Amino acid sequence: MAQKKDTLRHLFAGGCAGTVGAIVTCPLEVIKTRLQSSGIAIHSVYYPQVQLGTLSGGGVVRPSASVPPGVLQVLKSILEKEGPRSLFRGLGPNLVGVAPSRAVYFASYSKAKEKFNAIFVPNSNIVHMCSAGSAAFVTNSMMNPIWMVKTRMQLEMRVRGSKQTNALQCARNVYQTEGMRGFYRGLTASYAGISETIICFVVYEGLKKRLHEMDLSANSSGEKGSTNFLGLMLAAAFSKGCASCIAYPHEVIRTRLREEGTKYKTFCQTARLVAREEGYLAFYRGLLAQLFRQIPNTAIVLSTYELLIYVLNEKPN
């Protein structure tokens, strides 16, 4: 009974934390996804000349010149051409998926950590690595169809005032054109991205342990809780920043694999094509937007999770 209650606490805390983070950082995720795309983001909508197809058979424009835009250029273009609502494209499936995905992730991480602590030296780096990797594998396998729909919606560009495709229409289009396999496009890149999760949690757990040791050695006061919370946010932000910079190329490959009518078929083939046609710097397009989004998002998610576990009278493992 106690174990079941413990799992429910982690599910609830993880789900709430993921929802808060998704809402706050959604505009930056849309910008990042546009920048990662081959046809839409990189040849974007600044000076229209050429017609480009969309999900429902309509069209958007793309320029003849292909100068990669920056974060502010994409933001300005979306606001001018599509309106502020487009900054929240894909938020629906994100909210549908983020709570269960974070809940499953944190619950899986907690259970895996418990199991691996019995096999390896408790709370060692190998335990954190195996736990983070196992949780990411389970979550990616379960949630890929939702993230696939979210990415397609974020890549769709429409003129301000025109009707945009909703999540159900997008999902129906994927099924009709690509079948069930279409919902699992980019899954291999997500598995490659497990390395980012492992790096993030190893660094985060190390910093959290250090903060705990510092807290024990310091004289406790009324400020203890707020200091710990701020420290956890900074630790989460730093760990995610390091992990994102190291493992970012898999994000670009995953977005390319999820594009509609794409020439990209497999992980390795996509990597070769991008390197040959656009150069190695293309693997880091959108990194700035990713850091702006992921660092505060991870800080919000992990610190909210830790806070809720604390409020629910459950000391984090």
Domain boundaries, the chain: 2-37+71-311
Please report the pLDDT score of residue 256 as a whole number. Answer: 95
- Condensed to tens digits (0 to 9), the pLDDT of residues 74-93 reads 888 888 888 888 888 888 88
Give the pLDDT mean for 224-230: 59
More confident of the two residues 230 and 260: 260
Range with the lowest mean pLDDT among 10-24, 246-260, 263-277? Answer: 10-24
Q: How confident is the model at residue 204 (pLDDT cuts 50, 70, 90)?
A: confident
Cα 52 from chain centroid? Answer: 27
pLDDT in the model for residue 304: 75
Q: Are 141 and 163 in contact (CB under 8 A)?
A: no
Indicate whether 250 pLDDT > 60.
Answer: yes
**C-alpha 236: how far from its chain's center?**
14
- At 290, the pLDDT band (50, 70, 90 cuts) reads confident
In sequence order, the β-bridge partners of residue 51 are 61
190 pLDDT higher than 80: yes
Asked whether 203 and 273 are in contact (CB, 8 A), the reply is no
Q: Which fold has domain 2-37+71-311?
A: Mitochondrial carrier fold (1.50.40)
User: Is it the case that residue 71 has pLDDT exceeding 50?
Assistant: yes
DSSP structure string for 22-80? HHHHHHHHHHHHHHH-TTTTTT-SSS--EEEE-TTS-EEEE-SS-PPP-HHHHHHHIII
Phi-psi region of 121 (alpha: psi -120 to 50; beta: other; left: phi over 0): beta
The per-residue DSSP string of 215-283 comes to HHHSPP-TTHHHHHHHHHHHHHHHHHHHHHHHHTHHHHHHHHHHSTT-S--SHHHHHHHHHHHH-GGGG
- Asked if the model's pLDDT at residue 134 lies above 60, the reply is yes
